[in-house]
Structure 1
């Protein structure tokens, strides 16, 4: 059997030591750990504790006595409790939960049997039972380890995105939220309230005070335009490089190193193969490659890749934290696969529960808007989290407009205008492949709010392709324009469009009524 067995002290977590790269073997038999399990289980049985409490407390005991085998396990009790809560309660509707539940049950049964054999001094049964406890223990450690990795990555990537937008002063508030909220809905809700709702509300007031809105009449409609750039420009931001955490570096290293990247590919295929009964739910998941990368961060990954290639070797005695010896290669392979499956389950329940928690933290928005906001969230990757933050700012601004105009909601419509931009840097590239000034005027117009920036006149990629054909652009220029269009930054504006005929039906003084509606938004005629 295989299971990483680092013997570094628990304090290594705080000291910043990496205890997964080359784990030393635990030299002694694990009777100290087993005795802790015996004592905890006996104490719980003695007071007729509910089964769910037994599961929770024994799982907490397992983590407590195996801190040296858990990399990046959080120091904060609130975060630790959140991880246990995900494993035991919040993932109950997840297809992997039944397997996690069974592994916990198996561990409790194995500890109970070993305790009885120890009391009875059953020397015949003890070696086998020691192995069973060590095997069940290793599976739960792998599950908890992957859950820890996934939760930590989600938190680190979200924190980085917030700091990039709000500057270094955001760090203290993020830490305060972490200390009280752990991982879950309260954590996400607190961050959203601090770094989206409040900030956008303040930016709106500054925008109005600076008179940055525009008024324009077009026939029977009067439009107030609010430049969203003005909101984003009021976020502090930072020009400093945000250093990666150890966990982020480990995750990035999986893709960067050819050997671990190959291992991740092998594991991704295995996870989706359905070979292991605990992984039937993985097939068809778009994030299977991500789950495989999480599993690959653990030492069991390389051993599983070798096992799948028919090259399993090693002594299971030293790989279970000091458990009983098991030298059967076939049994070793089964144990390795069980541990890898547990790791994948831990990563998946962590990812899916946190996505559900994030969604619930957005109940402030309408369901359709919430679905739009969380759609890019994916696996909490940096670019995905940044996209979600951008949508949060947009929909919060939209909510402010709706709330301000609620009393007159039937007399106006709110539209979000999105125009693709061509930056000076991209324009230089386009000029080098044949975009002269005449062609430039056919496809672009100046951005009235940003000097040196051009706006695409064309709104869709098919329309751009048609324009390139009609204008007889060569393939090189057409391809460059297409690529620039697909990656172009957006200029976002909010337009509140007043329907003047509809307003006229309910008032005898149209100008005064229009002034009242504009005043709701803080805009003067």
Structure 2
């Protein structure tokens, strides 16, 4: 995977930036622009004048537009209130600054300039948070595509990134390209190759498909995939003890800094933690933690009489700087939260189109774009979109037909045979043959509790129990997707059951042999 291209980090100096803002505001006033328009235009001007100083700022036009839209939105996320309060304050300060310049009030101008530059820095950090979160999302999806669809699919993914903003259109196209179309193609190949079984099981006629045949459309690689700086930073915030603690501290600061928002209760703890981990990518996170810990240590030393109290002026300067760093940190996390939240809404709306009946099963993952979660979502979608297709085939039949999936843990037969103390009788009690894959066995117990009960009943030695438990944890699932036709209900609506069943099977494109 490739890093973002290196960028020239120079940007216009403060005098040039302030002059540009003054010019923009005068033009907007001359046009008597609405407040919403003025705020958006000023945000875009701040972004344009500071883009060279924003890490990972995208080079592609579509992705730059994504940053603009995520930063300048007004609805769809509680955090927009934060941004528009601050850009509104920036505009008021800028008007006063313009007046001070015109009247030659040097002292007032100097005071307002410092305040304006601080306000600008906070808004720039909002944009930085958006950019970091966007980069994490696109990098993780790029790795997902590479890992499960192969290198040749990166061109398709890159084409989507170049063509679309990171909005609803992008996610609709992504889901169609990498999920829906591949499941449809696999379904067609299953029917053409008659890769299914039809059998009577109790009071049902069952059409059984193997999820393996859907997974055949993947092209997974077990090669190591290099990660970007953004990905490594995010992983460190989850796994490195020190940075994990920093993320928890930042999460607490986000709660403190954003709890005044009118819709703060719509921000979940998980979403804020995700945003805090993104914020850890920026230097301001480390700077804040350093200052925060130092202030705690200093306060404790003063309490114990081990340090002298500082002069009021010095304390005031330090407090002002600490507050400025804290404001930047909150803005950074807020920007990340907006990008995660809005992107999550778009992504899940696209998912709902392919798994409308099952979307509730993954809603708890909505604001988490970490790679392990994306992998879970990928397999969930492949399975459940196929289930959705099968449901649609028989929807007219109502309750006479159900579509379900069944799971059994699958392990290599040699691994079972190598377990010390595993006799043929014990193996027969615990495992069945997987007729779909050579040298593979299926655990008969369906749950860990059932496995424990079976091992107790067989009085297995502790070492064998431990070996089986490890196999259980490492086992992958064989997934069967089944269409269950209720024979009793069908019989009530027809005088010729055989003909009626043939009609139903035709809806699924399958036929019984013989």
State how far apart, in whole Å, the 2-side matches of 1:129 and 1:311 are: 28
- Could you tell me which residue of structure 1 aligns to residue 432 of structure 2? 445
- Could you tell me which residue of structure 2 aligns to residue 33 of structure 1? 17
- Could you tell me which residue of structure 1 aligns to residue 134 of structure 2? 151
State how far apart, in whole Å, the 1-side matches of 2:223 and 2:369 are: 22
- Could you tell me which residue of structure 2 aligns to residue 346 of structure 1? 335
From 454, 478, 481, the counterpart of 1:491: 478
Call closer, same or farther: CA 1:378–1:65 in 2, change over 3 Å. closer
- Could you tell me which residue of structure 1 aligns to residue 309 of structure 2? none
Call closer, same or farther: CA 1:58–1:269 in 2, change over 3 Å. closer
Call closer, same or farther: CA 1:80–1:513 in 2, change over 3 Å. same
State how far apart, in whole Å, the 2-side matches of 1:425 and 1:334 are: 63
Call closer, same or farther: CA 1:339–1:417 in 2, change over 3 Å. same
State how far apart, in whole Å, the 1-side matches of 2:65 and 2:439 are: 53
- Could you tell me which residue of structure 2 aligns to residue 306 of structure 1? 290
Call closer, same or farther: CA 1:155–1:435 in 2, change over 3 Å. farther
Answering whether residue 107 of structure 2 is matched by residue 124 of structure 1, we say yes
Instruction: Give 1:238 shift.
Output: 4.0
State how far apart, in whole Å, the 2-side matches of 1:442 and 1:94 are: 55
Instruction: Give 1:192 shift.
Output: 0.5
Answering whether residue 378 of structure 2 is matched by residue 395 of structure 1, we say no
1:287-340 deviations in Å (ceiling 9; x for gaps): 54433221121111111112211359xxxxxxxxxxxxx981110011111111
- Could you tell me which residue of structure 1 aligns to residue 349 of structure 2? 360
- Could you tell me which residue of structure 2 aligns to residue 379 of structure 1? 368
1:25-58 deviations in Å (ceiling 9; x for gaps): x8x9510111111112222222122222222221
- Could you tell me which residue of structure 2 aligns to residue 76 of structure 1? 60
RMSD of aligned alpha carbons: 2.9
Call closer, same or farther: CA 1:334–1:199 in 2, change over 3 Å. same
Call closer, same or farther: CA 1:287–1:276 in 2, change over 3 Å. closer
Call closer, same or farther: CA 1:136–1:465 in 2, change over 3 Å. same
State how far apart, in whole Å, the 2-side matches of 1:152 and 1:473 are: 51
Does the Cα contact within 8 Å between 2:411 and 2:442 map onto a contact in 1?
yes
Consecutive unaligned residues of structure 1, counting only runs of 5 or more, are 1-12, 313-325
- Could you tell me which residue of structure 1 aligns to residue 491 of structure 2? 504
1:93-146 deviations in Å (ceiling 9; x for gaps): 533332222122122222222222222222111211111111111111111111
Q: Which has the higher contact order (CA 8 A, sep 6+)?
A: 1
TM-score where L is the length of structure 2: 0.87
Answering whether residue 446 of structure 2 is matched by residue 459 of structure 1, we say yes
1:398-436 deviations in Å (ceiling 9; x for gaps): 1211222234344322121122222458647x715x545
State how far apart, in whole Å, the 1-side matches of 2:427 and 2:101 are: 84
Answering whether residue 419 of structure 2 is matched by residue 431 of structure 1, we say yes
Larger deviation: 383-392 or 45-54? 45-54
Call closer, same or farther: CA 1:366–1:14 in 2, change over 3 Å. closer
- Could you tell me which residue of structure 2 aligns to residue 7 of structure 1? none
Does the Cα contact within 8 Å between 1:276 and 1:337 map onto a contact in 2?
no
Answering whether residue 182 of structure 2 is matched by residue 194 of structure 1, we say no
State how far apart, in whole Å, the 2-side matches of 1:368 and 1:93 are: 24
State how far apart, in whole Å, the 2-side matches of 1:109 and 1:214 are: 72
TM-score where L is the length of structure 1: 0.85
Q: Secondary structure at the match of 2:199?
A: strand
Larger deviation: 77-86 or 40-49? 77-86
Does the Cα contact within 8 Å between 1:99 and 1:278 map onto a contact in 2?
no
- Could you tell me which residue of structure 2 aligns to residue 420 of structure 1? 409
Answering whether residue 202 of structure 2 is matched by residue 214 of structure 1, we say no
State how far apart, in whole Å, the 1-side matches of 2:464 and 2:426 are: 11
From 3, 10, 16, the counterpart of 2:6: 16
State how far apart, in whole Å, the 1-side matches of 2:372 and 2:140 are: 9
- Could you tell me which residue of structure 2 aligns to residue 316 of structure 1? none
- Could you tell me which residue of structure 2 aligns to residue 185 of structure 1? 168
Does the Cα contact within 8 Å between 1:96 and 1:345 map onto a contact in 2?
yes
- Could you tell me which residue of structure 2 aligns to residue 323 of structure 1? none
Call closer, same or farther: CA 1:357–1:97 in 2, change over 3 Å. same
Answering whether residue 37 of structure 2 is matched by residue 53 of structure 1, we say yes
Q: Secondary structure at the match of 1:217?
A: strand
State how far apart, in whole Å, the 1-side matches of 2:267 and 2:510 are: 54
Q: Secondary structure at the match of 2:198?
A: strand
1:60-98 deviations in Å (ceiling 9; x for gaps): 1111111221011122233223233223326x3533332
Answering whether residue 187 of structure 2 is matched by residue 204 of structure 1, we say yes
Call closer, same or farther: CA 1:509–1:262 in 2, change over 3 Å. closer
Does the Cα contact within 8 Å between 2:254 and 2:334 map onto a contact in 1?
no
Larger deviation: 360-369 or 37-46? 360-369
Instruction: Give 1:466 shift.
Output: 1.9
Does the Cα contact within 8 Å between 1:378 and 1:384 map onto a contact in 2?
no
State how far apart, in whole Å, the 1-side matches of 2:365 and 2:203 are: 38
Call closer, same or farther: CA 1:167–1:486 in 2, change over 3 Å. same
Does the Cα contact within 8 Å between 1:423 and 1:453 map onto a contact in 2?
yes
Greater percentage in helix: 2
Instruction: Give 1:378 shift.
Output: 4.7
Consecutive unaligned residues of structure 2, counting only runs of 5 or more, are 297-314
Task: State how 1:233-248 maps to structure 2 within 5 Å.
Answer: 233-238=216-221, 240-248=223-231
Aligned length: 490
From 34, 48, 53, the counterpart of 1:64: 48
Does the Cα contact within 8 Å between 1:373 and 1:392 map onto a contact in 2?
no
- Could you tell me which residue of structure 1 aligns to residue 95 of structure 2? 112
Call closer, same or farther: CA 1:236–1:366 in 2, change over 3 Å. closer
From 153, 156, 167, the counterpart of 1:170: 153
Call closer, same or farther: CA 1:424–1:120 in 2, change over 3 Å. farther
State how far apart, in whole Å, the 1-side matches of 2:466 and 2:7 are: 49
Larger deviation: 471-480 or 61-70? 471-480
Larger deviation: 435-444 or 208-217? 435-444
Answering whether residue 102 of structure 2 is matched by residue 102 of structure 1, we say no
1:154-174 deviations in Å (ceiling 9; x for gaps): 122123213322222322222
